[in-house]
Amino acid sequence: MKEKVQKQDDEISLIDLFAVLWRRRKMIITITLVAAIGVVLCSVISLILPSEKSFLPNEYTPKALMLIDNKSSSGGGFSSMLSSSGMGGLASLAGVNLPIGSSYSELAAFLVGTNSMLDSVVDEFDLINRYKIEKYPRSSSRKELKKILKADYDEKSGVFSVSFTDIDPVFARDVVNYCTAYLGKRFDELGIDKSKIEKENLEVNIANTFNDIQQLEEESRVLEHSVDNSFSARSLSTISTDINRISLELSAKRQVYTQLKTQYEVLKISMASETPVFQILEIAEIPDQKSGPSRGMLCIIVTFAAGFFAVFLAFVLNAIANIKNDPEAMEKLRSTNEKK
């Protein structure tokens, strides 16, 4: 018997709910249609207006790809490098923990969020004036840049990416490529890729040694020419001594040059079989497709939200109407107001 009564109450409740919706159907349909038409019109207008004047402009997100070799960052070498470069203390001050075993990819992600890099980007592209930041320009520009400058690392492929979002695709591309070049420069300054540093040092030493050899050969030619024009035995003796000295120096320089050149060629062969710690795979290009906003999804969300709001409003209005038609409820409300 109780089960039958409960089923009847449930049926009555469902019928009552449907009745409320049916009585307020015009209001529900009107609110939903107005919201749907309004959001569609706003989306169309935002497309017609220029990007700088549109309230919902197209956004573009170019991306640069880098390959970061984390194998050489295993053990304590990475931690030692951070300590010697001062980055460990800087990371601690910034609230970033880079313990032993941290990777170069984590270092790259950390560098993207450092004040030095953020300020460099802000100053290079004059973002304070571009985004019309007036209050606390330095800290506000950093916060604004952090929202649209993103760094991501894919552990499976080992690819590190930097992206930037803006309504101007060319400007966004330039910012990403500048950040990529900045990261490469910082990795070089920190001395992470030992082979690359050794190669650069060898190139400088080879060039300097070659210049020294050329200068010594020129001095030797000048002295030999002086022998032909000299008629004094004393001057001939002095010139002969200088020629012997230069000859010894020239021989030593040539041996040094040969050794440096050999080391350089061996290092090139070794580097050919190694993966650089930081390597740019792909620079950012001007995107021809927007990354946002999704106007279609926005229209769907607003329409459904308006529909749910209309249904909720219908039940609220029905509840208010029921209270007004209930003498006992109205009497309670009057007594409550009188007590206040």
Any domain includes 294? no
Any domain includes 330? no
Any domain includes 297? no
Say which residue the tokens 């190669």 belong to: 199
Any domain includes 113? yes
Token readout for 22 is: 């049916």
Q: Give yes or no for a contact between 105 and 112, defined as CB atoms under 8 angstroms apart.
A: no
How many beta carbons lie within 10 A of that of residue 224, not counting itself?
12
In this structure, the answer to whether residues 33 and 107 fall within a common structural domain is no
In this structure, the answer to whether residues 181 and 99 fall within a common structural domain is yes
In this structure, the answer to whether residues 225 and 256 fall within a common structural domain is yes
Any domain includes 325? no
Whole-angstrom distance, CA of residue 31 vs CA of residue 308: 10
Q: Give residues with Cβ within 8 angstroms of 84, minimum separation 6.
A: none
Any domain includes 74? yes
Residues of the chain short of pLDDT 50, as ranges, are 1-2, 4-11, 74-101
In this structure, the answer to whether residues 102 and 158 fall within a common structural domain is yes
In this structure, the answer to whether residues 103 and 167 fall within a common structural domain is yes
- What are the φ and ψ backbone dihedral angles of 101, each rounded to 5 degrees? 100, -5
In this structure, the answer to whether residues 211 and 188 fall within a common structural domain is no
In the prediction, which pLDDT does 79 show?
Answer: 47
Q: Give yes or no for a contact between 199 and 271, defined as CB atoms under 8 angstroms apart.
A: yes
In this structure, the answer to whether residues 82 and 41 fall within a common structural domain is no
In this structure, the answer to whether residues 71 and 120 fall within a common structural domain is yes
The half-sphere exposure of 169 on its side-chain side, counting CA atoms within 13 A, is 12
pTM exceeding the 0.75 threshold for the entire prediction: no
In this structure, the answer to whether residues 179 and 205 fall within a common structural domain is no
Looking at the DSSP bridge assignments, the partners of residue 160 are 66, 153
Say which residue the tokens 């279609």 belong to: 296
Whole-angstrom distance, CA of residue 60 vs CA of residue 146: 16
In the prediction, which pLDDT does 71 show?
Answer: 67
Any domain includes 7? no
Q: In what order do the strands lie in the sheet with 278-282?
A: 149-154, 159-164, 63-68, 278-282
Q: Give yes or no for a contact between 179 and 65, defined as CB atoms under 8 angstroms apart.
A: no
Domain count, the chain: 3
Where among 192, 211, 241 does a domain terminate?
192
Whole-angstrom distance, CA of residue 17 vs CA of residue 196: 75
In this structure, the answer to whether residues 76 and 186 fall within a common structural domain is yes
In this structure, the answer to whether residues 125 and 227 fall within a common structural domain is no
Residue-wise pLDDT tens digits, 139-197 = 999 999 999 999 998 888 888 999 999 999 999 999 999 999 999 888 877 766 666 77
- What are the φ and ψ backbone dihedral angles of 276, each rounded to 5 degrees? -60, 150
Nearest residue to 253 via CA among 208, 312, 198? 208
In this structure, the answer to whether residues 263 and 226 fall within a common structural domain is yes
Any domain includes 9? no
- Give me the domain span that covers residue 85: 63-192
Token readout for 327 is: 């003498």
The DSSP H or E segment spanning 68 is strand 63-68
Q: Residue 161 has what DSSP assignment?
A: E
